[in-house]
Chains A and B, each alone.
Chain A
Amino acid sequence: MNKNKWIGERTIRPDGADKVTGRASFAADTTMPGMIWGSVLRSPHPHASIVNIDITKAASLPGVKAIVTAKDIVDFPFDTPAPLGIQDMRWMTRNVMAREKALFHGHPVAAVAATSEEIAAEACKLIEVNYEVLPWVIELEEAIKPNAPILHNILEFDGKPSNIAGTLEHKKGDIELGFQEADTIIERSFTTRPVHQGYIEPHACLVSVTADGKATIWSSSQGQFMVRAMTSMLTGIPQSDIRAIPAEIGGGFGGKTIIYLEPIATVLAQKSGHPVKMVMSREDVMRATGPTSGSMSKVKIGAKKDGTIVSVQGTFYLQAGCLPGSPIRGAAGCAFAPYDIPNVHSLGYDVVSNRSKVAAYRAPGAPIGAFAVESVLDEIAEEIGMDPLALRLKNAAREGTKAAHGPVYPRMGYAETLEAAIEHPHNKVALGNLQGRGVASGFWFNAGGESSAQVNVTEDGNVVVTTGHPDVGGSRASIANITAELLGIDYQRVSVLIGDTATIGYSNLTGGSRVLFASGMAVTDSTEKVIKSLRERAAIIWDIDPDAVTWEEGEARPAGANAGMFEPLSLEDIADRATETGGPIGAGAQLNTAGAEGGFATHICDVEVDIELGIVRILRYTSFQDVGRAVHPSYVEGQMQGGVAQGIGWALNEEYIYNKDGIVDNPGFLDYRMPVCSDLPMLDTVMIEIPNPKHPQGVRGVGEVPLVPPLAAIRNAIYNALGIRFYSLPMSPPVVLEALDISQAAE
C-alpha cells in the first residue's frame, strides 16, 4: 500500500457532533406512547432463602400493571451447564432475579411495572417477601475458610461443599527444578479490592412487546446480539422475535457485557401490554452491577544473578461475587505472559461470596495478576541490583516465545515498549524529595471472533457502512478511516452506522479489545468485494475484461495501454450507471476472525507523597504500548489514557466499604472515590506501531492492556519515594499514613 491517506489520520468522529450537542440518544432517552415504568424490589439481606413472595397488596395498588418474580423468568437448573459465550445462563438467570435465595444486599427479588416510577416503587414496598435470613460472608479471606457460610451447596471443592467454584491452571516446565537454578527467590502475598467499572451511564432499557409476541429492546450495552441472546434464553422468546436496538453507550468498560434489566422489562411488557422502561439509579448500579474481583495472590519468582528469570509460581484467588465466574483466566493467564520463562506454574481460584456478581472490567483479571508479578519483579531488580526496565527487557517475550497460557507469539513489540521507555526523557528526569518513579508492564490476550459488516454504495456515489458493534471507543471513526483508505475516497463520503439485530448479521460483543480488529476485517472484506464489483461495472461500461480494470485513487482505470484508452470512472460515475450494469452496489461479510494476538505495554509513573497526610499524587505518567497500527491515533491514545486513569483510581482510592450488616456503605461516586480530572496530570502516551501480521491493516487490540500495568507501576513508585512497599490496595491516605507511622516507629 502506498502512503496512507486516511489510516492514521485524526479524523472527526462521526458521532461527535451529536455527543457534544446533547443530541445523541442514550438508553434512558428513549420513550414511547403508552410507556409505563418498571421498578425492582431488591433484597435487604446479604444472604437469605426466599420462602414466599406475596404480591397481592402490590397488585391491588392503583396504577400497577404487572409484577414479575423469578417464576416468570426461565430457569436453568443448577446441575446442567448452560454456557453462552463466557457466561453461564444458570448464573445469569439467578443474577437477574433471585431464585432460591437472595445472594447479596440489593439482589433483585421482584419487579413491578406501573403507570409512574413512584407507583412502581411504592408497589415494590407492598410486596411481602418471607425471608429466612442466612449467615453471610463478604470477604474473600473469610469465604475460603473451612467453616464459612456456603452459598451454593452444589459447588464442591476437594469433595466438600465449598465457596471455591472452580480453578484454572497453566503449567510449563518444572518450577521446582527451576527454582533450584535461581540465585534469588522472592515470594510475596498481595490483596486487591473489588472495583467498579464506573461508567457514567447507569443501565437502562425500554422494551415493547407487540400483541403477537414480538419484542423490541432499546438498551445500552456492549452487544445488541448478547442482549438478544440472553433475553431470549431468559424469556423463552425466539431470537427471531426479538429486535435489540443499541443506544449510544455512556461507558461500559466490560460492565455492559451482561444484562440486568432487559429480560425483566420484557416480561413486564409482555404481561402488561405496555412498553416498559427501566432505569437504574447510581445506587442500584453500585450495589448490584459489576464490579471486578477483589483478590488474594501469592507470587514467587526465582532469578539468576544476571537477571535471568528461571522459575515463577503464582496463585490467584479471585472474588466472583455471589455466582461463579471470576476472571481467573485473565489473572493466571496474563500474569507472566510478557516474559520468556522456562518454568511457570500459574493457578487461579474462583471464589463466591455474598456480594454482587462480578462483570468484566477492562482486561478482566489481568491487572490483578500483574500487580503481584510486577511488584515482585521490582523487588528482584532491587535485590540483584539491576534496573527494573533492563530486567524486564532481559526476560522479554519475543517472536517465537511460547507462553505458558498456550500460544507461540508472532512478531510483536513488547521489547520495543521497554526500549522506548528506557530511552524516553521521562525515564531520565531527576526526581525531588519524596518523589519516586516506578515501572511495570502488562499483557492482555485480545480477541477476534464473529463480526459482520455491510458496505453499500449510495446512488449518488457515497458509501454507507453498517457494523454490528456498539461504539465505545471511536470505532465508527476508525472504520470510516479504513473504508475511505481502501476505496480511495474522502473520509467525509463514508457514513458508519451501527446496525441492530434485525439489520446486520451476528456480531459478538464489544469487548476483548476486538472491535476494530474483527469489524475492520469484515469491513475490509466487504469493501474489497465492492471494489471488485466496481471494477466489473467499469469493465461492462468499457466492454473490456474486468481483469483489465484497476481501482486506484477512488476511480476505475484501464489497467494499462493494452486495456484500451478510457477516461477513468469515478465512484459517482459508476454509481450513476449502476442500474444498467447490474443493479445496486454493495457487499457484506460475516466472519469468524482469528489472529487477534496479544497486546503489550510498559508504563512509567512518577509520584509525590504528602507524608503528613498520606496523599499520593501522580506527577507524571507515560505509557508505552505496541498498538499494532493506530488507525485513528486519537482514539488509541484515548484508550491508553483511559486505562491509566482507571488504574490510578484502583491503586489509590477505590474500594467498596461494607458495614457490619453486609451492606455497601458507599454506593455512589461521592464516597466511592474514582479519580476526578484534577487528580491526574496529562497522561502521556507513546504509541509503538508493530503491525499485527495477521490483520489486513495490522490492527492489534488496544483498549484493555492500558489498565494492566498501573497498579504495580504506582506501587513501585511509592516504594521509590518512601522506601515502603505496599502489598494491598488501595494505597489510600489513611493506609499510607499508617504505614509511614509504622516505618517511623521502626526507625
Chain B
Amino acid sequence: MTNIQYLAPTTLDEAVSLYAAAAGSARILAGGTDLLVQLRSGMINPGIIIDIKKIKELNSIEQKADGSFVVGASVSGTQLAKHSSFGKTWPGVLEALNLIGSTQVQGRASLGGNLCNGSPAGDSIPALIAAEATVNIQGPNGSRQLAVKDVLSGPGSTNLSQDEIAVNFIFPTRQLGSGDAYLRMIPRTEMDIAVVGCGVNLTLENNICTSATVGLGAVAPVVLEVEAAAEALVGNKIEEETLERAAEACRAVCNPIDDKRGTIAYRTKVAGVLMKRAATIASQRAEGA
C-alpha cells in the first residue's frame, strides 16, 4: 500500500540530484525488465522510481573517429542492433545483450540495466568484460570510470554507491584481426537465464592469438574475468590443445552454487565447453575481420 513516485528527468544532472536526494529510497528504471519483476514479486519496495530513458547521454550510441564506441547505459538491445556498425565491430556484445528475454524485452533491456542489476548470470556482462569495456559513472561529486570487470561486488550488488548512476559504456578501438563471441548454456533455446555464460574477445595475427580476454558468468558470486584462460590462448594457435588449456583455466576458477538452475559439477564442466566454443567463434570472426 505504498505510493511510488515516478520521475522522468531529461538531464543527467537532474537525475543525479534526484537520486542523491532520495538517499537510497529510489530505484533507477532503465528498461525495467528486472525492476518491474522485482517490484511485482515484492522483492523491492522503492518510494521513487527514476526513469533514465529520457536522458540523451544515456540513450545514444556514438562511434568516435578512432573507432571506439560510446553506448548509453539505457540503450535497448533493439536500438543497438539497429546501429549500422556496432554489431559488426562487437558481435559478441550485441549477441549477449540480445539473448536476454523475448523480442519485447529486447526492446527495453539495456547494458546498463543488466550490469547494475548485479546478477552473476547477467548475459551481457561476460561479453562486456571480454570487450574490456569501461563504464562512466556519475554521482553528486562528479564522474568516474570503472572497468566493467570491477563493477560487480556480489550477487545483486555493485561497487556503485547509492547515489551514482551508470551513464555510458566505452568500447575501446578495435585492432584488425579481432573478434568476440558470447555463448550461454540454457536448458531451453530462449527465454531463460544463463546456467553458465562465457564471453571471449581475441586478436589474431598470422593465426596466432596476440591478445585475449575471457569473461565467465554464473559460476561465482560475480562475473569473472579469467586471466589464466586468456594467458592460455595468447601466443598460440586457436586449436584443440590450446582451447583445452584455456577451458581448464575456466573450470579452475569456477566457484558456483548448487541451485535450481544447475549443479556445481554441471556448471564447472559447461564453463570449459562454452569457453572452447566461444573462443572458436571469436577466432573465426577475427579471421574474417
Q: How far is the CB of A739 from chain B (nearest CB, A)?
A: 12
Kindly report which residue of chain B lies nearest to residue A671, judged by CB atoms: B260
**A680: nearest residue on chain B (CB-CB)?**
B189
Which A residues from 699 to 747 make CB contacts under 8 A with B? Answer: 732-734, 737-738
> Which residue of the partner chain, among A665, A676, A732, contacts B191 with CB atoms under 8 Å?
A676
Min CB distance, B127 to chain A, in Å? 19
Which residue, A657, A733, A738, has most C-beta atoms of chain B within 10 A? A733
Our pick among B189, B193, B261 for the contact of A678 (Cβ within 8 Å) is B189
CB of B36 within 8 A of chain A?
no
Please report the C-alpha to C-alpha distance between residue A188 and residue B74 in the assembled complex, in whole angstroms.
56
A-B contact pairs, 24 of them (CB 8 A): A118-B1, A283-B41, A612-B273, A613-B270, A614-B266, A615-B187, A652-B187, A653-B187, A653-B188, A665-B259, A665-B260, A670-B193, A671-B260, A671-B261, A673-B187, A673-B188, A673-B192, A676-B190, A676-B191, A678-B190, A732-B187, A733-B185, A733-B187, A733-B195
Q: Is the CB of A666 within 8 A of B263?
A: no
Q: Is the CB of B172 closer than 8 A to any CB of chain A?
A: no
Q: What is the total number of residues of chain B having a CB less than 8 Å from a CB of chain A?
A: 21
**Distance in Å: Cβ of A30 to nearest Cβ of chain B:** 22
* Residue B46 lies at the interface, judged by CB distance under 8 Å to chain A: no
Cα A652 to Cα B185 with chains together (Å):
15
8 Å CB contacts to A: which residues of B251-277? 259-263, 265-266, 269-270, 273
Residue from the set A119, A671, A675, A732 with the largest chain B CB neighbour count within 10 Å: A671
Those of A606-651 within 8 Å (CB) of chain B? 612-615
Residues of B within 8 A of A72 (CB): none
List, in ascending order, chain A residues with CB within 8 A of B260's CB: 657, 665-666, 671
Q: Does A737 lie within 8 Å of B188, measured CB to CB?
A: no
Name the residue on B nearest A612 (C-beta): B273
Residue-wise interface mask of A (678-707) relative to B, using a CB-CB cutoff of 8 A (1 in contact, 0 not): 110000000000000000000000000000
B37 to chain A, nearest CB (A): 9
Which residues of chain B are near A665, meaning CB under 8 Å? 259-260
Least distance between A579 CB and chain B CB atoms (Å): 56
Query: Which listed residue (A118, A613, A678) contacts B273, Cβ 8 A?
Result: A613
Q: Indicate if A241 sits at the interface (CB-CB under 8 A).
A: no
- B188:A676 contact, CB within 8 angstroms: yes
A183 contacts partner chain B, Cβ-Cβ < 8 Å: no
Please give the distance in Å from A58's CB to the nearest CB on chain B.
14
A-side interface residues toward B, CB under 8 Å? Answer: 116, 118-119, 122, 283, 612-615, 652-653, 657, 665-666, 670-671, 673, 675-676, 678-679, 732-734, 737-738
Residues of B within 8 A of A737 (CB): 266, 269-270
Most chain B beta-carbon contacts within 10 A, residue among A613, A666, A678, A738: A613
- B contact face: mostly helix, strand, loop, or mixed: loop
- 4 A-B pairs besides A612-B273, A613-B185, A670-B191 with CB distance below 8 A are A670-B192, A679-B189, A733-B195, A738-B265
Q: Which residues of A contact B189 (CB under 8 A)?
A: 676, 678-679
Which residue of chain B lies nearest to A116 when distances are taken between CB atoms in the complex?
A: B1
- Of all chain B residues, which has the CB nearest A656? B260
Question: In the complex, how many angstroms separate the beta carbon of A734 from the nearest chain B beta carbon?
Answer: 4
Min Cβ gap B151→A in Å is: 24
A269 to B192, CA, bound (A): 40
Chain B residue with the shortest CB-CB distance to A652: B187
User: How distant is B38 from chain A, measured CB to nearest CB, in Å?
Assistant: 13
A613-B273, A670-B193, A671-B261 given; A679·B188 CB < 8 A: yes
Give every chain B residue within 8 A of A612 (Cβ-Cβ): 270, 273
Residues of chain A within 8 A (CB-CB) of B270 are 612-613, 737
B119 to chain A, nearest CB (A): 13
Chain B residue numbers with a CB within 8 Å of A733 are 185, 187, 195, 266
CA of A283 to CA of B42, assembled, Å: 12
Q: Inside 8 A of B261's CB, which chain A residues have their CB?
A: 671
> What's the Cα separation between A673 and B188 when bound, in Å?
7
Residue of B nearest to A665 (CB): B260
Contacts of B191 in A (CB 8 A): 670, 676
List B182-230 residues whose CB lies under 8 Å from chain A.
Answer: 185, 187-193, 195
Q: Are B188 and A675 in contact (CB under 8 A)?
A: yes
> What 0/1 readout, one digit per residue, does chain B (70-85) give for beta carbons within 8 Å of chain A?
0000000000000000
Q: Tell me, in angstroms, the Cα distance from A119 to B2 when the chains sit together.
A: 11
Contacts of B188 in A (CB 8 A): 653, 673, 675-676, 678-679
**The residue from A118, A679, A734 contacting B263, defined by CB atoms under 8 A apart:** A734
| Nearest A residue to B266, CB-CB | A734
Closest 8 CB pairs of A and B: A734-B266, A678-B189, A612-B273, A657-B260, A118-B1, A666-B260, A676-B191, A665-B260
Within 8 A of A (CB), among B69-124: none
In the complex, A118→B39 CA distance in Å? 13
CA distance A732 to B266 in the complex (A): 11
Quick one: closest B residue to A61, CB to CB?
A: B1
Which residue of chain A lies nearest to B1 when distances are taken between CB atoms in the complex?
Answer: A118
Question: Which chain A residue has the least Cβ–Cβ distance from B189?
Answer: A678
CB atoms of A122 and B190 under 8 A apart: no
CB neighbours (8 Å) of A119 from chain B are 1
Q: Which of B1, B185, B187 contacts A122 (CB 8 A)?
A: B1
Report the Cα distance A615→B185, complex, angstroms.
Answer: 9
- Shortest CB-to-CB span from B230 to chain A, Å, is 22
In the complex, what residues of B have CB within 8 A of residue A670's CB? 191-193
Which chain B positions have C-beta within 8 A of A653? 187-188
A103-B191 Cα distance, complex, nearest whole Å: 33
CB contacts (< 8 Å) of A116 on chain B: these are: 1
CA–CA, A679 and B186, complex, Å: 11
How long is the Cα–Cα vector from A657 to B91 in the complex, in angstroms?
A: 36
A122 to B45 Cα, complex, angstroms: 14
A116 to B191: give the CA distance in the assembly, Å.
33
Closest to B183 in A: A613
A186 and B225 CA atoms in complex are apart in Å by: 52
Rounded to whole Å, the gap between the CB of B140 and the closest CB of chain A is: 34
Q: Which residue of A lies closest to B102 (CB)?
A: A676
Complex interface: chain A residues within 8 A of B1 (CB): 116, 118-119, 122
Compute how far the CA of A118 lies from the CA of B270 in the bound complex, rounded to whole angstroms.
44
Closest residue of chain A to B195 (Cβ to Cβ) is A733
Please, how many angstroms separate the alpha-carbon atoms of A419 and B195 in the complex? 43
Residue numbers in B under 8 Å from A734 (CB-CB): 262-263, 265-266
Q: How far is the CB of A75 from chain B (nearest CB, A)?
A: 33
A119 to B188, CA, bound (A): 38
User: Contacts of B192 on A, CB cut-off 8 Å?
Assistant: 670, 673
CA distance A666 to B187 in the complex (A): 15
Interface residues of B in 232-289 (CB under 8 A from A): 259-263, 265-266, 269-270, 273
Complex: how many Å from CA A385 to CA B192? 42
Chain A residue at minimal CB-CB distance from B267: A734
Q: How far is the CA of A673 from the CA of B260 in the complex (A)?
A: 11
CA distance A118 to B45 in the complex (A): 13
B284 to chain A, nearest CB (A): 18
Q: How far is the CB of B98 from chain A (nearest CB, A)?
A: 14
- In the complex the two chains form, what is the Cα distance from A118 to B262 in whole Å? 35
> Which residue of chain A is the closest to B262 with respect to CB atoms?
A734
CB distance from B251 to the nearest CB of A (A): 13
Question: Whole-angstrom distance between the alpha carbons of A259 and B189 in the complex?
Answer: 34
Alpha-carbon gap, A676 to B190, bound state (A)? 7
Closest B residue to A122 by beta carbon equals B1
Alpha-carbon separation in the docked complex, A670 to B192 (Å): 6
Min CB distance B123 to A, Å, is: 14
Q: How far is the CB of A659 from chain B (nearest CB, A)?
A: 9
Contacts of A673 in B (CB 8 A): 187-188, 192
Q: Within the assembled complex, what's the spacing in Å between the Cα atoms of A677 and B187?
A: 13
On chain A, the residues within 8 Å of B187 by CB distance are 615, 652-653, 673, 732-733
Q: Which B residue's beta carbon lies closest to that of A675?
A: B188
A406 to chain B, nearest CB (A): 41
- Say how far A193's CB is from chain B's closest CB, in angstroms: 13
Query: B185 contacts which chain A residues (CB < 8 A)?
Result: 613, 733
Q: Which of A119, A657, A734, A738: most chain B Cβ within 10 A? A: A734
Which chain B positions have C-beta within 8 A of A675? Answer: 188
User: Which residue from chain B places its CB closest to the CB of A616 in the assembled complex?
Assistant: B187
Q: How far, in angstroms, from A613 to B195 measured CA to CA in the complex?
A: 11
